[in-house]
């Protein structure tokens, strides 16, 4: 696992350096759709990540946001989000990152989330806990639910389906009034990092996108967050009190 982690961290670091350079020169080459945006930086970051991973492990499978699936001969598969927070990136909002997860026979065993603007790297390994820049972190908060900040995440499928959108609006309304702030960052991988270090009180995801969910959920698990799932609804909290409050809502 050490070699897997080393490759994943290096891939995110190389991609992060590229993204920061593009962000600082306001590279806004992008295609804007009705519900999503695809930037040239997404593709550039993904190429750099895949160069590192495929060089180190040419037999591994890959699912990457831009290029899709690549079959492998191994039981291992990488899931790659090369630019988590593309909308933020293109709008000049300094909140974006990269996320890489390694799956073994569909079980997530390694997660790396990198915030390049702060040079912060979160790592979670199955059964080994979570770290930030090599130091152990824990999803612990003494903030009560009425003062809590909760990240609410929806996947792109929700925006393209009227019934899912209706359900997401119901969940959003349920949160409103029960917590201090509902945070919608459009960079969920970084939100998972904040939860894992106790800076956010909870993350609630509805039909999340696979490319960041694998990395984020393992980070929450290994940092000791309180977890619940029901279908495509995922709840993770940094305290028993906030977790109980969210469970009662959903």
- Confidence band, pLDDT 50/70/90 cuts, at residue 27: low
Q: How far apart are CA 75 and CA 223, in angstroms?
A: 26
Half-sphere exposure of 236 (CA within 13 A, CB side): 31
- Kind and range of the H or E element at 243? helix 240-249
Indicate if the pLDDT at residue 34 is higher than 90. no
In CATH terms, the fold of domain 145-249 is D-Maltodextrin-Binding Protein; domain 2 (3.40.190)
Residue 30: pLDDT over 70: no
Q: What angle do CA 145, 195, 61 make, to 5 degrees?
A: 140
The pLDDT assigned to 21 comes to 95
Question: What confidence score (pLDDT) does residue 198 get?
Answer: 97
pLDDT digits (tens, 9 = 90+) for 150-176: 999 999 999 999 999 999 999 999 998
Cα distance between residue 16 and residue 99, in whole Å: 10
* Res 245: pLDDT: 95
- 8 by Cβ neighbours in 10 Å (0-12 / 13-18 / 19+) ranks as buried
Q: CA-to-CA distance for 187 and 88, rounded, in angstroms?
A: 8
CATH architecture of 2-137: 2-Layer Sandwich (3.30)
Task: Give me the pLDDT at residue 25, please.
Answer: 84
**pLDDT tens-digit readout, 50-98:** 999 999 999 999 999 999 999 999 999 999 999 999 999 999 999 999 9
When pLDDT is cut at 50, 70 and 90, the band that residue 187 belongs to is very high
- Mean pLDDT to the nearest integer, 123-137: 98
What is the per-residue DSSP string for 121-178?
Answer: EEEEETTTEEEETTEEE-------GGG-EEEEEE-HHHHT-HHHHHHHHHHHHHHBTT
Angle of CA points 137, 143, 148, to nearest 5°: 100
Residue 218 has pLDDT above 80, yes or no: yes
Is the distance from CB of 112 to CB of 81 less than 8 angstroms? Answer: no
Q: Where are the domains of the chain?
A: 2-137, 145-249
Q: Is the pLDDT of residue 100 over 70?
A: yes
Average pLDDT, the chain: 94
> What pLDDT, on a 0 to 100 scale, did the predictor assign at position 1?
77
pLDDT (0 to 100) of residue 38 = 73
């Amino acid at each position: 696992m050490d070699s897997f982690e080393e490759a994943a961290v290096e891939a995110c670091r190389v991609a992060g350096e590229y993204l920061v350079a593009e962000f600082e020169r306001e590279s806004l080459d992008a295609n804007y759709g009705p519900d999503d945006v695809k930037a040239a930086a997404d593709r550039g970051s993904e190429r750099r990540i895949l160069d590192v991973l495929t060089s180190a492990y040419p037999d591994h499978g890959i699912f990457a946001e831009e290029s899709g699936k690549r079959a492998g001969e191994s039981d291992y598969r990488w899931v790659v989000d090369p630019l988590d927070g593309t909308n933020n990136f293109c709008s000049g909002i300094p909140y974006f990152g990269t996320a890489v997860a390694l799956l073994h026979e569909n079980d997530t065993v390694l997660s790396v989330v990198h915030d390049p603007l702060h040079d912060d790297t979160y790592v979670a390994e199955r059964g080994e806990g979570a770290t930030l820049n090599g130091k152990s972190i824990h999803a612990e908060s003494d903030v009560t639910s009425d003062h809590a900040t909760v990240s609410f995440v929806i996947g792109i499928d929700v925006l393209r389906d009227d019934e899912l959108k209706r359900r997401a609006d119901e969940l959003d309304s349920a949160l409103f009034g029960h917590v201090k702030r509902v945070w919608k960052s459009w960079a969920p991988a970084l939100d998972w990092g904040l939860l894992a270090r106790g800076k956010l009180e909870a993350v609630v995801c509805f039909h999340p996108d696979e490319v960041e969910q694998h990395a984020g959920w393992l980070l929450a698990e290994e940092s000791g967050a309180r977890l619940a799932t029901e279908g495509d609804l995922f709840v993770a909290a940094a305290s028993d009190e906030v977790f109980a409050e969210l469970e009662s809502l959903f």
